[in-house]
Chains A and B, each alone.
Chain A
């Protein structure tokens, strides 16, 4: 039973990681906590539902399309809301409050468009459990784990091995110096919004076949924020590890301590960790002071 629970914890943890990456990348790039990240994930899941139920598309293609469309939405929100607010000289705290406003607007818009009932994804993962040497393994958990890890690997490759990735890291670390070296910092921020929205959408489309898609599923964003905090806000590998730690602790806590305190256990671990390691498991990449 331990192994089955562990696998489930890793799978849900991967989804937390994907969403947590969205938080952390923005914090790193422009010092903004985007509380609409959970709602962006929700919109991604619902776009995926519409694509799957309206067109005869395979699930992997839907995953990619939903990510692309949601990335577009992320960029639009930045252009129409966050940037104008920032350009008018609003302090960062006010921009953060604006992200809360955006999250409420997205929730209500989704409720108007997709209704208030949960929506079921057509069966995408095999529903019959697979038996591997006495273990029963839910195929969807394996799929989520593999796809989630693949995305995180790709993201690391992108940051380490491509010019754009390098430019994004440079722009995040030292915008002025990057600008002098010919990096379009504004464009890099736009990319950051696009990628964080796309990762959120990936989390949503992976999650929806198990938990259904609905306008109120964005609350997972709060947990993912906790995951990003555990890993160290602004640290990319930290967000990945933080998400998995939270997923595993939560699932094992529910299984072996008490399922009634599942959420409390997750957040309890976060508080305990922060008491001992105040800046999270991984130290945040220093921005120029």
Chain B
């Protein structure tokens, strides 16, 4: 809860700024701005953004924040929100849970944000949701996929990404039903991300009578995978699946090709990062991945988003940009309906999202804070994403 001294200072700030909503600003659950009131007749809603902007996950965070900014700062959004001005407060968590917690605490208690968008990775999101839950601040994570995130009995957490259980399950179905292959060699990173993907895949594979002939794990940051790949190859699989982050995924893809792998290769949504294709080069040709969104999606919301993104940043968006953008869409839609920067009202408005058209599909939350929409299966052809499912 808020510190009385901060509250008093907030009120003084509001008075001196001649803001309208003085009463709302001092109410204990409100999130009206601390020193705000630049525009005499408008309310300002502070939106906290938490992402990995340095460290080895910096690429993910940058794309996500760019997507978010594209939506939040567009003239069209400003017009739609009318008197409500949005102010973004961006903090870096470097992909580390401990840094994420202190940054989230600062955003919630010092900056008094009305809502928090972030973080990128599952461990950082997991750690920060305790902070937002306690302070009763709605939090939307654009990209964290660990299934457990929305299973904590926390009403304040929402996510744009699909849980890894759905991604793993869908990939197993694709192997069984579309590729019609029966013997899987599986390789995964030995942490929550990799094990989550493996468990989901293995459970569904068993149900569909697809056999996992070899499964090998590796440590995060490993560079040489020839030992595991040799074992998997010796088990003679007819399809190879890996659940890795992009840097390791690219190395595995290259080393597998060098060991003479000719079977189809499949991967997780981490392959959606453009960096994967850049690093893996020719070895990624003909491979598949299960994702949330792809630049090859052909519906109008998606193509319009890609166009705008290219116009502003002079490069292609990736899945994380689309997720950041979609989180912003959900937020703008909720702000329009809530007509307020009150944390509880915003939470209810976010939960009530219905039939919202976004680049990632038409969005609606289930009761748990997860969105329901189909995965996107991609095949890399001539170095480009193409839709892999037959329509």
Q: Which of B74-82, B138-146, B217-225, B314-322 forms contacts with chain A?
A: B217-225
A-B contact pairs, 27 of them (CB 8 A): A4-B226, A5-B226, A12-B224, A117-B58, A118-B275, A120-B250, A120-B278, A120-B279, A120-B281, A127-B258, A129-B257, A131-B260, A138-B258, A212-B279, A216-B56, A251-B227, A254-B224, A254-B227, A255-B227, A255-B231, A259-B216, A259-B217, A259-B218, A259-B227, A259-B228, A260-B219, A262-B227
Q: How far is the CB of B185 from chain A (nearest CB, A)?
A: 14
Q: How far is the CB of A204 from chain B (nearest CB, A)?
A: 13
Q: Compute how far the CA of A115 lies from the CA of B56 in the bound complex, rounded to whole angstroms.
A: 10
Considering the complex, which residues of chain B in the window 168-190 have a beta carbon less than 8 Å from any beta carbon of chain A?
Answer: 190
Considering the complex, which residues of chain B in the window 185-230 have a beta carbon less than 8 Å from any beta carbon of chain A?
Answer: 190, 216-219, 222-224, 226-228, 230
The answer, yes or no, to whether B259 is at the interface (CB within 8 Å) is: yes
Q: Compute how far the CA of A262 lies from the CA of B217 in the bound complex, rounded to whole angstroms.
A: 12
The answer, yes or no, to whether B166 is at the interface (CB within 8 Å) is: no
Q: Which of B190, B217, B226, B275 contacts A117 (CB 8 A)?
A: B275
Q: Is the CB of A260 within 8 A of B226?
A: no
Q: Which of A1, A115, A117, A260 contacts B230 (CB 8 A)?
A: A1
Q: How far is the CB of B384 from chain A (nearest CB, A)?
A: 18
Q: Is the CB of A251 within 8 A of B226?
A: yes
The answer, yes or no, to whether A211 is at the interface (CB within 8 Å) is: yes
Hey, which bits of chain A sit against chain B, CB under 8 A?
Answer: 1, 4-5, 8, 12, 115-118, 120, 123, 127-129, 131, 136, 138, 140, 210-212, 216, 251, 254-255, 259-260, 262
Q: Chain B residues near A115 (CB, 8 Å)?
A: 58
Q: Is the CB of A118 within 8 A of B279?
A: yes
Considering the complex, which residues of chain B in the window 363-391 have a beta carbon less than 8 Å from any beta carbon of chain A?
Answer: none
Question: Beyond A117-B275, A120-B278, A260-B219, is A129–B258 a contact (Cβ under 8 Å)?
Answer: yes
Interface of B is mostly: helix
Q: Is the CB of A8 within 8 A of B281?
A: no
Question: Beyond A127-B282, A127-B283, A216-B56, is A136–B227 a contact (Cβ under 8 Å)?
Answer: no
Q: How far is the CB of B3 from chain A (nearest CB, A)?
A: 36
Question: Beyond A118-B279, A259-B227, is A127–B259 a contact (Cβ under 8 Å)?
Answer: no
Q: Which of B55, B228, B230, B279 has the most CB of A within 10 A?
A: B230
Q: Chain A residues near B223 (CB, 8 Å)?
A: 210-211
Extra pairs beyond A12-B224, A116-B56, A251-B226 (20, CB < 8 Å) = A5-B227, A116-B58, A118-B275, A120-B278, A120-B281, A123-B281, A127-B254, A129-B260, A131-B260, A140-B258, A210-B254, A210-B255, A211-B224, A211-B251, A212-B250, A254-B224, A255-B227, A255-B230, A259-B227, A262-B222
Q: Is the CB of B230 within 8 A of A5?
A: yes
The answer, yes or no, to whether B89 is at the interface (CB within 8 Å) is: no
Q: How far is the CB of B287 from chain A (nearest CB, A)?
A: 14
Q: Is the CB of B227 within 8 A of A127?
A: no
Q: Is the CB of B226 within 8 A of A8?
A: yes
The answer, yes or no, to whether B234 is at the interface (CB within 8 Å) is: yes
Q: How far is the CB of A262 from chain B (nearest CB, A)?
A: 8
Q: Which residue of B has the minimal Cβ distance to A211?
A: B223
The answer, yes or no, to whether B104 is at the interface (CB within 8 Å) is: no
Q: Is the CB of B260 within 8 A of A136?
A: yes
Considering the complex, which residues of chain B in the window 272-290 have a beta carbon less than 8 Å from any beta carbon of chain A?
Answer: 275, 278-279, 281-283
The size of the chain B interface, using a CB distance under 8 A, is: 34
Hey, which bits of chain B sit against chain A, CB under 8 A?
Answer: 54-56, 58-59, 190, 216-219, 222-224, 226-228, 230-231, 234, 247, 250-251, 254-255, 257-260, 275, 278-279, 281-283
Q: Chain B residues near A8 (CB, 8 Å)?
A: 224, 226
Q: Is the CB of B234 within 8 A of A1?
A: yes
Q: Is the CB of A127 within 8 A of B279?
A: no
Q: Compute how far the CA of A212 lies from the CA of B280 in the bound complex, rounded to whole angstroms.
A: 10
Complex A-B, nearest 6 residue pairs according to Cβ-Cβ distance, in ascending order: A254-B227, A255-B227, A211-B223, A138-B258, A136-B260, A129-B260
Q: How far is the CB of B375 from chain A (nearest CB, A)?
A: 26
Q: Chain A residues near B254 (CB, 8 Å)?
A: 127, 210
Q: Which of B217, B223, B228, B283 has the most CB of A within 10 A?
A: B223
Q: Which of A4, A115, A116, A140 has the most CB of B within 10 A?
A: A116
Q: Which of B54, B228, B260 contacts A116 (CB 8 A)?
A: B54
Q: Chain B residues near A216 (CB, 8 Å)?
A: 56
Q: Which of A4, A117, A131, A259 contacts B59 (CB 8 A)?
A: A117
Q: How far is the CB of A29 from chain B (nearest CB, A)?
A: 31
Q: Which residue of A has the minimal Cβ distance to B190?
A: A260
Q: How far is the CB of B283 from chain A (nearest CB, A)?
A: 7
Q: Compute how far the CA of A138 lies from the CA of B227 in the bound complex, rounded to whole angstroms.
A: 13
Q: Chain B residues near A140 (CB, 8 Å)?
A: 258
Q: Which residue of B has the minimal Cβ distance to A8?
A: B226
Q: How far is the CB of B96 from chain A (nearest CB, A)?
A: 14
Q: Compute how far the CA of A92 lies from the CA of B278 in the bound complex, rounded to whole angstroms.
A: 45
Q: Is the CB of B251 within 8 A of A212?
A: yes
Q: Compute how far the CA of A8 lies from the CA of B257 in the bound complex, rounded to whole angstroms.
A: 15
Q: Chain A residues near B230 (CB, 8 Å)?
A: 1, 4-5, 255
Question: Beyond A12-B224, A127-B254, A129-B259, is A260–B234 a contact (Cβ under 8 Å)?
Answer: no
Q: Chain B residues near A118 (CB, 8 Å)?
A: 247, 275, 279
Q: Which residue of B has the minimal Cβ distance to A209?
A: B254
Q: Compute how far the CA of A260 lies from the CA of B254 in the bound complex, rounded to whole angstroms.
A: 21
Q: Is the CB of A123 within 8 A of B227?
A: no
Q: Chain B residues near A116 (CB, 8 Å)?
A: 54-56, 58
